[in-house]
Chain A
Amino acid sequence: MTNKFHAIEFKEVSLAFDDNVVLDRVSFAVRYGESKVVMGGSGTGKSTLLRLALGLIKPDSGSILIDGENITDYTEEQMMEVRQKIGMVFQEGALFDSLSVYDNVAYRLREQHARESEIEPVVIRMLRFVDLEEAVDKMPNELSGGMRRRVGIARALVGSPKIILYDEPTAGLDPITARTICELALKLRDLEEVSSIFVTHRLQDIEVLASEYVVRDDFGNLVFEHEGDRMCLINTKFIMLKDGNVIFSGSDKEMRDTRDPYIRKFIDNER
């Protein structure tokens, strides 16, 4: 079995809501340390894919493996264990409106009954990672859209999960803020070896994720570099969903060279 090499694996997963088929025997796998960018138009089941991986909903058939563990028939209690390994970044951040930024980020630790002395340094570290230390005492409704997403990322990172699911984290953001979010994803991918599924339909994100990488220079500073002749990124792969099926799976170069009319239209239109 190849399970050992995959952080996330979908095997022949199907799901329908009433008569509406959302996913039709979808199979794919995310290797350890790999980012899988999932694309597709609205309503093609991209978000559903993430909710399945997190066990929030169950598939009608097929199986889902997380870290080699078959979670398809897990109960909610068993899922709680698995979810410790996964961080999820929701579309609009999904911050708890009634809690401050601090309490939002501390949420997972509070559920685990961690002591306040342990919680505080973690929260500060996470907020520093997304560059939002100054917002620690703010309430979610005082934050801009981009800040909410970043707090959402900070909250997802608590507990250092090795798998992160991004549900359109850049949707509706200006290009600069969207780039900030992508840079966070790059840092996690290249420096923390996080495996991830990144759902998006913005070509700019794909551009950044497919061609840039981040390294730490001799002084400990982070440097963003472009892939070039010397090196080619292999830790980011793409899949395209259409009508509940995977119609493309491969690297960004393969995607750009494809003749599939739907993908061509997708790429050309977005430009």
Chain B
Amino acid sequence: MNLIIRGIIQIQEITLLIWRVLRGIFRPPFYLREMIRQMDIMGFGSLTIILLTAFFTGAVLALNTGNTLQKFGVQSVSGQLVATSLIRELGPVLTCLMLAGRVGSGIAAELGSMLVSEQIDAMRALGADPIKKLVTPRIVALVTMAPALTIVCDMVGVLGGLFATISFQGQSSSVYISSAKVAVTYNEILGGLIKPTVFGFIIAIIGCYRGLSTKGGTVGVGRSTTQSVVDASILIIAVDFLLSKLIISLLLAP
């Protein structure tokens, strides 16, 4: 089949999936317990990798920019630099790329293997709606957990930067912290939380779509898993560009 036609069909199917989720989201049954379980698995379960990623990213950011700032004699703003980069850009994108790799792939693999082993059909045969039972809880979990993890990522990243500036650049912690505080405004934070909300939705919907459209047995599950990570990562980065433009002109314009 033609590549373009296939692309259009996929967009159509994803739109249909989103529509079916939205249509059912306010109608019972709600499967609250399943939502909370997914939040725990996806949110709390991803905490370790987010903490590690955030800390080292913040540290390396301070390390790399330190020399340049010193050249211009403005080493004292390194706190602001690290905090702004993290809140605006690195926090949301890094967190969500990690989630795409860890959680998005897991969703695609789980739903894909359920599909090929006829568990999805069995679910429908036993009177449950797979969209409500499987897709909606995962979307809700990621849409809420991605911003929450981003906040953690931002905070730990700033701490990582603090660690690097005091240990390797001999700056005092109070200079770093007071400079970092300048970056933390309400509009910055709001802009920094819109992004992961959107990205979380993208990761969940792509993971579910890829999983539920798995074809070709166990080999197909592997293919869906890989494809979900690739699709979600590319979409996150592309959408990040568009959202950045939008957020800058709406919230951060001087």
Interface positions of A (Cβ within 8 A of B): 51, 54, 56, 76, 80, 83-84, 86-88, 90-92, 94-97, 107-108, 111-113, 155-156
A94-B118, A155-B126 given. 7 additional CB < 8 A pairs?
A: A54-B124, A56-B121, A56-B124, A56-B125, A76-B124, A96-B119, A97-B119
List A contacts of B127 (CB < 8 A): 80, 83-84, 108, 111-112
What total of chain B residues lie within 8 Å of the partner, measured CB to CB? Answer: 14
A9 to B123, CA, bound (A): 24
Q: List 26 A-B contacts (CB under 8 A).
A: A54-B121, A54-B124, A56-B121, A56-B124, A56-B125, A76-B124, A80-B129, A83-B124, A83-B126, A84-B127, A87-B125, A90-B121, A90-B122, A91-B118, A94-B121, A94-B122, A95-B119, A95-B122, A96-B122, A97-B119, A107-B128, A108-B126, A111-B127, A112-B127, A155-B126, A156-B125
List B contacts of A94 (CB < 8 A): 117-119, 121-122
A112 to B124, CA, bound (A): 13
A99 to B124, CA, bound (A): 16
List A contacts of B128 (CB < 8 A): 107, 111
Closest-CB distance, A119 to chain B (whole angstroms): 13
CB pair A88 B125 closer than 8 Å: yes
A111 to B114, CA, bound (A): 18
List A contacts of B119 (CB < 8 A): 94-97
List B contacts of A90 (CB < 8 A): 118, 121-122
List B contacts of A112 (CB < 8 A): 127
List B contacts of A87 (CB < 8 A): 125
A134 to B128, CA, bound (A): 27
List B contacts of A80 (CB < 8 A): 127, 129
Closest-CB distance, A156 to chain B (whole angstroms): 8
Closest-CB distance, B110 to chain A (whole angstroms): 9
A50 to B121, CA, bound (A): 11
Q: Which residue of B lies closest to A167 (CB)?
A: B118
A111 to B130, CA, bound (A): 12
List A contacts of B123 (CB < 8 A): 96
List B contacts of A108 (CB < 8 A): 126-127
Give B91-134 interface residues, CB cut-off 8 Å to A.
Answer: 114, 117-119, 121-129
